[in-house]
Structure 1
Amino acid sequence: MVAARDILTIALPKGTLYTNSVKLLGLAGLDTEFMKEPGRQLLLYSEEDAVRFIICRPTDIPTYVEYGAADLGLSGKDTIVEQHKDVYELLDLKYGGCRFVVAVPEDKPKELAYWNQTRVATKFPRIAEEFFLQQGMQMEIIKLHGNIELAPIVGLAEMIVDLVSTGRTLRENKLVPVADVLSSTTRLIANRVSHRLKSGRINPLVERIRQVVEEGGLK
């Protein structure tokens, strides 16, 4: 019987990142066969590995890790930067790639400096603000929770900062990228206290994951 303090808790993202996250952990030696189809279960447990898995929204994972409800978590770099949680970033897992861009209407000027002191709509105000400050630009940041592409069309903002993968949504709304802001991939993060107190369990797993990533195990 494993003591509760020795159980390792890992937070995994629901949605598009789930399958690759489970595959990665399986390749790193954890028992994940029973996790391929989680259904509606949000808490899974591997007795063989003494590992508990929390299945939650990707944007909640840094919070679970910061407060110690999870020892480890798999989270997008964009979420980590935007939320600025006090967690320890261990590895770039090199999947779930996307990028942040500044986009403007296709019939407008493409020089970024032209848009100084205008309004920008985004779901990621911290990332947007830091980017424009680095460019020496003073912008009015308008936070939205969805349909960012609508903002320039209806006059809410002159430009947007948003995640893109294929760029199809931008094209459909007659927007074009004019600057890259940040590239994002999935990262392995740890609770700072857990990383110290459970190093005997965490460090070997991290090294196995690192080896899988370096060998291109998910490609």
Structure 2
Amino acid sequence: MNENIITVALPKGRLADETIELFVSKGITQEGVVDEESRKLVFLDEKHGMRYMLVRNMDVPTYVEHGAADLGIVGLDIVKETAADVYEFMDLGFGACRLCVAGIKDGNSRYRHDMVVATKYPKMTKDFFAKKGIFVETIKLYGSIELAPIVGLSDMIVDLVSTGQTLRKNGLEVIETMLESTARLIGNKSMTRLKHERVKEIIKRLGGI
């Protein structure tokens, strides 16, 4: 395998699509190189010396930190939650969303000690409330987080919000925004010198320094 190939970890779904579209527009890769419908997980663009891996979004920093990928595209929320030891090269400017505390509309929106908060982001949630001097218990959920306060599993939730439509449809409302998140380009800290030069060229093409 060509040692100069740059491997990029992409989260499955919209961020992967937007990343490839951006890379094509900047001449970094060729159109149609990644086909999510094929069920393949690894795609090679030999012409441009690029390889792409489709992984779960929470796993992107792990693949990059441990060297299975040289670069990764992932939301700032994931970078903060995983606290992975990686370079954060640049903000790519797409995939905008907010990480918010939310609760039942017209319910008790005041924070208190020993609240139960359902979330995919237990580390950030505990840190956020700890800075306010509030201890909370977190329950980690991976889907349908909006259901938790409705059925009494939690007092509040912390989750990503884009338009807020899902919250409103389930009788919830945003109480506070914890983080504004966009897609970030992250990198492994132990890349060879040869790959560093290629990565610098990719960053330059993307408009970074």
| TM-score for both structures, normalised by structure 2 | 0.91
Report if aligned partners of 2:41, 2:55 keep a CA contact under 8 Å in 1. yes
Report if aligned partners of 2:117, 2:156 keep a CA contact under 8 Å in 1. yes
Quick one: which of 162, 166, 179 aligns to 1:169?
A: 166
- Cα distance in 2 for partners of 1:149, 1:44 equals 35
RMSD: 1.9
User: After superposition, what is the alpha-carbon deviation per residue over 1:64-99, rounded to whole angstroms, capped at 9, x for unaligned?
Assistant: 111111101111111111111111100011111111
Residue 45 (structure 1) aligned with residue 44 (structure 2): yes
Q: Which residue of 2 aligns with 1:148?
A: 145
Q: Which residue of 1 aligns with 2:55?
A: 56
Q: Which residue of 1 aligns with 2:17?
A: 19
CA shift for structure 1 position 34? 3.0
Report if aligned partners of 2:30, 2:48 keep a CA contact under 8 Å in 1. no
Give unmatched runs, 5+ long, in structure 2.
none
CA shift for structure 1 position 109? 3.4
User: After superposition, what is the alpha-carbon deviation per residue over 1:154-212, rounded to whole angstroms, capped at 9, x for unaligned?
Assistant: 2221111111111111111111111111111110000001175521111011111126x
- Cα distance in 2 for partners of 1:189, 1:174 equals 36
CA shift for structure 1 position 5? 2.0
The SS at the match of 1:9 is: strand
Q: Which residue of 2 aligns with 1:85?
A: 84
- In the superposition, relative to structure 1, how do residues 195 and 160 fare at CA in structure 2: closer, same or farther (>3 Å)? farther
Higher mean Cα deviation, 50-59 or 201-210?
50-59
- Cα distance in 1 for partners of 2:56, 2:101 equals 26
The aligned amino acid for 1:17 is L
- Cα distance in 1 for partners of 2:192, 2:33 equals 25
CA shift for structure 1 position 47? 1.7
Q: Matched residues, percent identical?
A: 44
CA shift for structure 1 position 133? 1.1
Q: Which residue of 1 aligns with 2:101?
A: 102
Report if aligned partners of 2:103, 2:155 keep a CA contact under 8 Å in 1. yes
Q: Which residue of 1 aligns with 2:122?
A: 125
The SS at the match of 1:33 is: coil
Higher mean Cα deviation, 41-50 or 69-78?
41-50
The aligned amino acid for 1:66 is E
CA shift for structure 1 position 41? 2.3
- In the superposition, relative to structure 1, how do residues 96 and 75 fare at CA in structure 2: closer, same or farther (>3 Å)? same
CA shift for structure 1 position 134? 1.5
Residue 208 (structure 1) aligned with residue 191 (structure 2): no
Residue 178 (structure 1) aligned with residue 175 (structure 2): yes
The aligned amino acid for 2:139 is I
Q: How many residues align?
A: 208
CA shift for structure 1 position 131? 0.8
CA shift for structure 1 position 49? 1.4
Higher mean Cα deviation, 52-61 or 119-128?
52-61
The SS at the match of 2:67 is: coil
The SS at the match of 2:177 is: strand
Could you list the structure 1 runs, at least 4 aligned residues long, displaced by more than 4 angstroms after superposition. none
Structure showing the higher helix proportion among its residues: 1
User: After superposition, what is the alpha-carbon deviation per residue over 1:95-143, rounded to whole angstroms, capped at 9, x for unaligned?
Assistant: 1111111111112233x44x33321111110111111112221111222
The aligned amino acid for 1:50 is G
- In the superposition, relative to structure 1, how do residues 27 and 97 fare at CA in structure 2: closer, same or farther (>3 Å)? same
The SS at the match of 2:190 is: helix
